[in-house]
Structures are given as structure tokens and as C-alpha cells.
Amino acid sequence: MSDTANGRLAVRKTYKLYIGGAFPRSESGRSFVVTDHKGGFLANAAMASRKDARDAVSAARKAFPGWSGATAYNRGQVLYRVAELMEGRRAQFIAEVRSADGLGARQAEAAVDAAIDRWVWYAGWSDKIAQVRGAANPVAGPYFNFSLPEPTGVVAVIAPEASSLLGFVSVVAPAIVTGNTVVALASERGPLPAVTLSEVLATSDVPGGVVNVLTGRTAEVAPWLASHMDVNAIDLAAAPADLADDLATAAAENLKRVVRSTEADWTVTPGLQRMLTYLETKTVWHPAGT
């Protein structure tokens, strides 16, 4: 992030929102100062508004049929490709995670490696979750009765504050691997690694709109996502404690599926609970006969 190297003035990056595969500034024209852990200036990030949140939900809804209709094999490869591209930007991610999370070099390295590996872990789930979660049900009648998991739709996630990259990946990947599309609100204090990740997503094979990334004030944007009638599920595990109950109450208006439990440690291999919360079970009674 150094401004000069070898006497050359560095070209700084503009950190924008990521909506529908494009990188707009906030429609509100607002930005906010992002600093490192010692208070040093890092960048002006876009400060998302209600309108940006709504645009992001529209983009996610538009992307849902294509992404949920892709084969599980295809989605698995797309997620794996994200890991490949992150690996290529490893040094940049380590530098950004150091600033954002206030970690030492080795810790930041470990966090980035774990984030990359998490994509790989989830990539492998795409074509297995239906076998683990599905069933052929022995009903008392002439039917082939089976149950399959299906994605619930648009998932809003409030990404963890303190784990700007690993935490972000750990809440986004379990939603999209099964075919959901996501609107993610990045860590308010350390949003930059999530923005850089969105650049990785844009240049990987993840279709535009599958992941949408907002930066800004959680307390301002999260209520619009929680009350949005076209959002099917919301991850509130990382929501600020004073906000979480109100967000869950708003989420009840269209019976969103809600994640509330908090992860103690993002480095631990996750269980299935996040994936399962964003999956519906469909049961089909298919006739058998001549």
C-alpha cells in the first residue's frame, strides 16, 4: 500500500461497490474514509445507500435463475476458479488483510490461505450436498418419492467485522455454492479486502449478480436488507448485538430464513449449518405404474 516505491508515485485504486457484475460508486455520491488499525488513511470507500442495497437485491434476483439452474459440477468449478485467482493475488490480499484486521504478517498470511482453502472446500460441496441432504423416501404407495435440496433464492449477509476476508468468504461461499445469489455487506471497519475479492469474482467465471458487495455503514444498510421483501434469507450472525434483534424482527415480515449463531473461530472447518439454512427441501411424488 506504500504510496511511493523507487521514487515512483503509486497508482491508487478506487474502491467501489460491486453490483450486477459492474463497479458503480454509490448512487448517493457518498464515500467514507477507511483507515488501517493505527488510524492511517487507506482509501475512500463507497458508502452504500438504501438505493444501492435495493439495486443489489434486484441484480441478485436477476442472476438467480441462471446460477441456480447451472449444474452442480459447473458451480463447483466456478468456485474453485475463485480460489485459483485469489492465489494469484495472494500478496495483495495479505497486505490488505494486515491493514484491515491489524494482523501480523504471518497471521495475515494464514488468514488469506485459509480464505483461499475455504473456497476449495465449498467448491467440493456443490455436487455432494444433494446426496448428503437428499433422500428417496419409502412411502406406502405406488410412488417414487424423493426429496432434494434447492437454493432458497437471494441471501443477504452481514459479513463479520473482525475477519475482513476469511470471515467474508466464510459467509458468502456457503450461500452461492448451492445456487443462491448474495448481497453481502462488507466489514464496516475493514471493507477493502472484500472489494478486492469482488474484483477477483468479476474476472473469474462467477456470473455478474451472483455476488454483490456493498460497503458502508452496517446500521444504515442492514435494516433495508432485513426488511426487503425479495430477500429470502439473511445471515445476522455478525450483526451488531444492539441491532440483531431488530433485524430479525424485520426479517420475519416475509419469513426470511435467518442465521443467528455466531462462529467462535473462522479458521475452524465450518459445519453444514449455513449451507442448510439457505436450502429448501423439495419433495416430489412421481407416479409409478404401467
Partner 1 sequence: MPRLIPPWTDMPKFEYAPAPESRAIVSLRESYGLFINGEFTPGVDGRAFKTISPATEEVLAEVTEAGPADVDRAVAAARQAYERTWSVMPGRERAKYLFRIARIIQERARELAVLESLNNGKPIRESRDVDIPLVAAHFFYHAGWADKLEYAGYGPAPKPLGVAGQVIPWNFPLLMLAWKIAPALACGNTVVLKPAETTPLTALLFAEICQQADLPPGVVNIVTGAGETGRALVTHPGIDKVAFTGSTEVGKEIARACASGPRKKLTLELGGKAANVVFEDAPVDQAVEGIVNGIFFNQGHVCCAGSRLLVQESVYPEVLASLQRRLATLRLGDPLDKNTDVGAINSAAQLAKIRELSEVGEAEGAQRWSPPCELPVKGFWFPPTVFTGVSQAHRIAREEIFGPVLSVLTFRTPAEAVEKANNTPYGLSAGVWTDKGSLILWMASRLRAGVVWANTFNKFDPASPFGGYKESGYGREGGRHGLEAYLDV
* Residues at the contact surface with partner 1, assessed by CB under 8 A: 132-133, 135, 137-141, 143, 145, 147, 152, 232, 245, 248-249, 251-255, 257, 260, 273, 276, 280-287
Q: Which helix (H) or strand (E) holds 209?
A: none
Cβ proximity to partner 1: between 84 and 230 the closer is 230
d(CA 28, CA 163): 27
Residues whose CB is less than 8 angstroms from the CB of residue 290 and which lie 6 or more positions away in sequence, other chains included? none
Cβ proximity to partner 1: between 172 and 247 the closer is 247
Using the structure block, give the residue that is written with the C-alpha cell 459445519. Answer: 271
Q: Kindly state the cell numbers that stand for 268.
A: 475452524
Question: Do the Cβ atoms of 170 and 235 come closer than 8 Å?
Answer: no
Q: Kindly state the cell numbers that stand for 284.
A: 416430489
Cβ proximity to partner 1: between 14 and 273 the closer is 273
The CB-of-96 to partner 1 minimum distance in angstroms stands at 35
The CB-of-221 to partner 1 minimum distance in angstroms stands at 19
d(CA 234, CA 183): 9
The CB-of-74 to partner 1 minimum distance in angstroms stands at 16
Q: CA 179 from chain center: how many Å?
A: 12
The CB-of-14 to partner 1 minimum distance in angstroms stands at 38
Cβ proximity to partner 1: between 107 and 147 the closer is 147
